[in-house]
Amino acid sequence: MTPAAPLLPYRRHLSEYWRDFNKEIVSFSITILLVVVGGLISQGYSDIGYMILRIKVAAFVGIIGLIQATVILSGGGGIDVSVGTMASLGALFGAAIMQGRDEMLLPALLAIAAVGFVLGLVNGLMITRLRIHPLIQTLAMSYVITGIIVAYSQGRKLLGRPSPLLERLVNDRLGPLFIIILVWVALVVGMEFLLRRSRVLRKVTAVGTNERTALLCGVEASSVRTAVYAWSGMCASLFGALALGSVHTVYLDVGNQYLFPSVVACTIGGISLAGGSGSYVGVLGGALVYTFLQSFLVTLNIDEAWRKVLFGLILVAVLVAYSRSRTAK
Amino acid sequence: MPAYVVEARQVSKNFGGVPALAGADFSCPPGSIVGLLGENGSGKTTLSRILTGYYRPSSGTVRYRGEVVSFRTPAEAARLGIGMVHQNFSLVPDMSVKENIWLGCEPLGRAGFVNDRRIGRELRTYLDRLCPWIRPEAKVSSLSPSELQLVEIVKALSRNPIFLILDEPTSALERQQVDAVFTLLRDLRRSGRSMVFISHRLHEVEQICDSIVVLRNGKTAGTVDLSGGGPVDYDRIVNLITGNREIAKEVRRFAEEERAPLLEVQGLGDGLRLFDVSLRVREGEIVGIAGLQGQGQEELLMALAGFRRTVAGRVALKGQALALHSPRRAIEAGMVVVPGNRQTEGLFMDRPVFYNATFPALVHRRGPFPSSRFERETSSRLVADFAIKASSLGTPVTALSGGNAQKLVVSKWLPLGPKVLLMSDPAKGIDVQAKAELYRIVLELAEKGTGILLFASDLHELITHCDRILVLYEGRVVDEVPGGAVDEEGLLSRCLRREPSA
Amino acid sequence: MSALQTRYKALSQSSLFVPVALAALLVVANIVLQPSFLRPHVIRSNLLTFSPLILVAMGQAVILIGGNLDLSMGFGISLLNCFIAMNMSVVPGAMGHNAAILGAGLAIALGMGAANGILVGMLRVPSFMATFATSFIWLGVAIMIAPIPGGAVPRWFAQFFKASFGPANVMLLVVVLSALAWYVVRRYRLGRYIYAIGSSWDASYANGIPVNRITIGSYAVGWCFVYLGTLALTAQTRAGDSAIGEPFALNSIAAAVIGGVSLSGGSGSPVGAIFGAITLSIVMNIIYFSGLPTSYQVLVRGLIIIAALGSTIVVRSAEASRS
């Protein structure tokens, strides 16, 4: 055995830190910038209480963003546009099973998870075995889920309420912060750790970077991706239950509104759509930027139409900046 | 009449502060073929890109037919009659050969439509001479690597260039095809055209070129005139390329005693390219596979690696039968592969050094969470042991030179302690120094008892390093030669299935 | 074989075979469930209903062939629809004004396409994200033009596409002419280069193809089709509504894919997308006439779409492994 070699550093120069963490740095900086400028423009914007409320909203976007990020990381055009409808389905079933009772919380969660897992598994199998593009497959699945929701809820009074425990999880505070925010941060920390250290997520990013190389190292893309989509379906459904806790009455597309934000959070957070690269901390930053940007635009007191235009323009600017940084390398 | 078709004086090119060329000189007289040699990173590709208009030089002048030129786009250079046969193919996969040949400069008919008929006529001339079996309507994505390379050459020639740069044009071709191409090039030379022949294959360069220009570290290291006939001074050429550095002289000790069989293959076939292949690799033995291009070498290694479906045959590793369903089985049994194309099959290109170095070890180790200590120690050890030039572990492998990247492709398997290493042309396209270092690693592995099955397109590599060499012809093992008992001519004859000249 | 025969042979083996067969199958199913399907007025009515998606899917197909995507088509249609409806004048004798509005609409459509094309082609932003972002801009402008649904179009405009002859109407003519227009573009370098950049951006660049300009060109051509589709849509709705375009974004992609256009670019044809759109549209018809309870109709629609997608892919890979 050769004597132990000197341990090389991961990074030597400051420029390497920028290379590896620029997306996270940029998104946090933009958030801070928005808070500062917002505070200057409108008194009370930077008030801690309001900020925490906004972070609570960001937590939802952030959690669904983690799910979407994992799918995108797995590559092969990976994206899951059915997460919104999965969440709606989860909320619907969850409310119906829970009926506002704590003792039904666990069975409800298990049932939601099972349903989401099966549907996600169908996505995964269609994508990997039949080689249907993920965008198309998950789009078609979202049609099917919408159909299920319509079929189920037709002529039926939408009964059901989330269990009080669930509502407390989402709406209660621990100190100044909401529990849901702590849950979010814990999830990000946990998943980031897994991303760097666990075999599972290393296989996911490998398959997202280069399928052939991964295969020659013994990692098969189809099994990894099938698992990712099944996991995504399960988590998106469970997320629906979470979303349920934040609203008090059930309505049909409570989850659909989270699809676009999930993709925006991933993009701003630096998850490359080609797969393989990006970090969950970046997605956290992306969720913050998204939420704070939306509320910033509201603070400017502009009407809905202009808000949309400005949001689009700012998103374009961020995208152009990211693409320039890539080519500048 | 200018003395040179192309003349580059003191040309430099910087990429963000990194000099790819630092005052190189190059000249090519009309009606001649000039060889351009140099290690990877010496500036050959950069120089050829400047001459064909892809890059603008940071300083220096380029003269074309006597006049100073500064091309803004490759199209400008192309219009003046400068052509290029690319190393990384410039063919569009979903289009036909016919559509590709004139892509970018299609002849137009009336009303501005693309004139398909005229393309068809012009196409046949060169297609018939080099690869008459290829239909013009055939989709490029259906062609084999050697056919792709031939089509690239046809494409460049169809534009009737006055000055043509060929970047590794023969790397995928077999002997007869190379001869056909060379005949064409000689015809062009006779008609007054000039060519630059970039290659690592010294014996081919010696065959076709009138003179050689050697680049080293972005400068012109020297020129060698070959037109005078007489023996070629290989040592001087290699010296110019490497600059007097110590090249590890590879000496393989051909061990004669019997050792335990490690890998046994019987009757392996896939019904397409491999038929009834049987071979044996012993512990510590380096077995080479020789053959013309496309005789099944790559397919054999991929089949053994579990990457290619087989329909017949039995494989046993250390006496245990091995089912070749997937690479995962093969790897778990201890048989790993160093694939032919490191960028698309051997490495995760955008990922850091540590990611690539530890990936197989991580995937196949026990325990769900390998520690960061393990990752750092393993990567550092590999980088140190194999002299991989990387300043930090987080450096993306795209920043490594070809030779260093290839060392990573091989060394990433070592923490797993593989029993058999399958290598598919591992030293292709890397510079002389890195090649020597790579084979040093291979030798060390063999000495520790790993069995090596090695395919190389350069017969000299096989002769120098292997204990035994198998010759593959049309998917069958047709010959076996003990190491040291044959020279390059002899081995080549066996590959061609010709009687070796006494 | 003459050039015409060779081209016919290529066509029958081409990517059009599956979409046409699929559409034909569904038409037959529709006829079985709704015998009145073959009545002239039903055919004409269906032509009118299907055509907006058909034309928009053709536009999406052109962009997909170039290796890109356009998610902003939906809200772009909303914008154009609101612009036309809110600005056209129903006052008699306003022909000049209305013609100018229609011309301006075309300019706006080309502008939106060019904007997307510049983002994707020159600024190298991935098309998914770029068009996702611009869709917000278009929606915002659409809402500005028409905060609540309103506006009107002159009678002649609404009747234009309906003008009929036999079982056909002007709408059919427009679709056929669009298909022919594509074949013309295909014969030019622009058409050829769109396929080239979709198949391999790097190889196209290496060959001196002005990849940026061709990308912008592909978006411009695509949005011409989108504009035609919006005209067809507006003529039927006779009003402007900022929500009208939303389903078109993803539906046009689904229609193009069912029509044999590859999402990775370089293969397929907008003509195939015509049949893909027909397939998608007929599915709703079939479900309606099958007598299924309304609560299940949406679900079955989704299932049939999945089946259609699956069959498209399965058949194509079976063909590929055979060849």
Each residue's pLDDT tens digit, B274-301: 888 999 998 888 999 987 666 788 889 9
Say if CB B250 and CB B439 are below 8 A apart: yes
Claim to verify: residue B200 and residue B279 sit in the same structural domain: no
Number of domain units in chain C: 1
Residue B251 lies in a domain: no
For an interface test with B, give the residue of A212, A217, A219, A271 to mutate (most B CBs within 10 A): A217
Two tokens, residue B431: 């510079």
What is the percent of chain B where pLDDT is above 90? 17
Amino acid at B402: G
Q: Find the CB nearest B368 among A7, A198, A218.
A: A198
Q: What is the CATH number of the domain that holds B133?
A: 3.40.50.300
Contact A140 C126 (CB under 8 A): no
Pairing relationship of beta strands B420-424 and B451-455 according to DSSP bridges = parallel
Number of domain units in chain A: 1
Claim to verify: residue B335 and residue B409 sit in the same structural domain: yes
- At residue A171 the predicted structure's pLDDT band, cuts being 50, 70 and 90, is confident
| pLDDT at residue B499, as a whole number | 41
Q: What is the CATH number of the domain that holds C78?
A: 1.10.3470
- At residue B360 the predicted structure's pLDDT band, cuts being 50, 70 and 90, is very high
Residue A8 lies in a domain: no
Q: What are phi and psi of B334, to 5 degrees?
A: 110, 10
Residue A11 lies in a domain: no
Q: Which of B223-232, C13-22, C100-109 has the highest mean pLDDT?
A: C100-109
- Residues on chain B touching A212 (C-beta within 8 angstroms): 344-345
| pLDDT at residue B226, as a whole number | 84
Q: Find the CB nearest A136 among C263, C296, C317.
A: C263
Two tokens, residue C71: 């998610």
Q: Is the pLDDT of residue C200 over 70?
A: yes
Q: What is the mean pLDDT of chain B?
A: 83
Mean pLDDT of B484-493: 71
- At residue B247 the predicted structure's pLDDT band, cuts being 50, 70 and 90, is very low
Higher pLDDT among residues B386 and B484, named by residue: B386
Taking the C-alpha atoms of residue B114 and residue B119, their distance in angstroms, rounded to an integer, is 9
Q: Which of B430, B495, B427, B499 is nearest to B289 (CA)?
A: B495
Distance from CA of C217 to the nearest CA of B (A): 16
Tens digits of residue pLDDT in A63-93: 999 999 999 999 988 999 999 999 999 998 8
C312-320 contacts: CB < 8 A, separation 24 or more? C312/C18, C312/C19, C312/C22, C312/C257, C312/C258, C312/C260, C313/A130, C313/A131, C313/A132, C314/A130, C315/C18, C316/C15, C316/C18, C316/C260, C317/A131
- At residue C222 the predicted structure's pLDDT band, cuts being 50, 70 and 90, is very high
Residue A104 lies in a domain: yes
Tens digits of residue pLDDT in B438-447: 888 898 888 8
Residue of A nearest to C145 (CA): A305
Q: Which of B83-87, C35-39, C273-277 has the highest mean pLDDT?
A: C273-277
DSSP class of residue A103 equals G
Q: Chain C window 159-218: which residues touch A at a Cβ cutoff of 8 Å? A: none
Two tokens, residue C147: 């905060």
Say if CB A116 and CB A88 are below 8 A apart: no
Say if CB B402 and CB B430 are below 8 A apart: yes
| pLDDT at residue C321, as a whole number | 56
| pLDDT at residue B253, as a whole number | 60
Q: What is the CATH number of the domain that holds A55?
A: 1.10.3470
Amino acid at B239: N
Total number of residues shown for chain C: 323
Alpha-carbon distances of B55 from B15, B192, C252, rounded to whole Å: 10, 27, 41
Q: Is the pLDDT of residue C8 over 60?
A: no
Claim to verify: residue B210 and residue B115 sit in the same structural domain: yes
Q: Chain A window 204-263: which residues touch B at a Cβ cutoff of 8 Å? A: 205-206, 209-210, 212-220
Q: Find the CB nearest C203 among B73, B91, B112.
A: B91
Tens digits of residue pLDDT in B19-42: 788 889 999 999 999 999 887 667
Two tokens, residue B275: 């038929």
Say if CB C271 and CB C93 are below 8 A apart: no
Distance from CA of C209 to the nearest CA of B (A): 5
Mean pLDDT of A132-158: 84
Claim to verify: residue B224 and residue B289 sit in the same structural domain: no
Q: Is the pLDDT of residue B160 over 80?
A: yes
For an interface test with B, give the residue of A213, A271, A277, A325 to mutate (most B CBs within 10 A): A213
Number of domain units in chain B: 2
Chain C contact for B343, CB < 8 A?
Answer: no
Claim to verify: residue B159 and residue B56 sit in the same structural domain: yes
Claim to verify: residue B164 and residue B275 sit in the same structural domain: no
Tens digits of residue pLDDT in C43-52: 888 889 999 9
Neighbours of B, requiring at least 3 CB pairs below 8 Å, are A, C
**What sign does the dihedral A52-A57-A60-A63 (CA atoms) show?**
negative
Parent domain of A74? 23-328
Residue B253 lies in a domain: no
Claim to verify: residue B178 and residue B302 sit in the same structural domain: no
Q: Is the pLDDT of residue B237 over 80?
A: no
For residue B216, give the H/E element and its range. Answer: strand B211-216
- At residue A43 the predicted structure's pLDDT band, cuts being 50, 70 and 90, is confident
Tens digits of residue pLDDT in B48-70: 889 988 888 888 999 998 888 88
Q: Is the pLDDT of residue B458 over 70?
A: yes
Residue ranges in A154-220 assigned as alpha helix (H) = 164-171, 179-197, 199-209, 211-216
Parent domain of C299? 3-322
Contact A320 C119 (CB under 8 A): yes
| pLDDT at residue C194, as a whole number | 96
**What sign does the dihedral B100-B101-B106-B109 (CA atoms) show?**
negative
SS (H, E, C) C135-186: HHHHHHHHHHHCCCCECCCCHHHHHHCCCEECCEEHHHHHHHHHHHHHHHHH
- Of the ranges B155-159, C137-141, C298-302, which one carries the lowest mean pLDDT score? C298-302
Claim to verify: residue B174 and residue B270 sit in the same structural domain: no
Claim to verify: residue B161 and residue B301 sit in the same structural domain: no
Mean pLDDT of A92-120: 89
Mean pLDDT of C175-183: 94
Residue A255 lies in a domain: yes
Parent domain of B347? 261-496
- Residues on chain A touching B307 (C-beta within 8 angstroms): 215-216
- Residues on chain A touching B370 (C-beta within 8 angstroms): 197, 199
Total number of residues shown for chain B: 502
- Of the ranges A278-282, B126-130, B368-372, which one carries the lowest mean pLDDT score? B368-372
Residues 6+ apart with CB under 8 A from B422: B301, B304, B305, B335, B336, B337, B338, B453
Q: Which of A313-327, B423-437, C1-15, C117-131 has the highest mean pLDDT?
A: C117-131
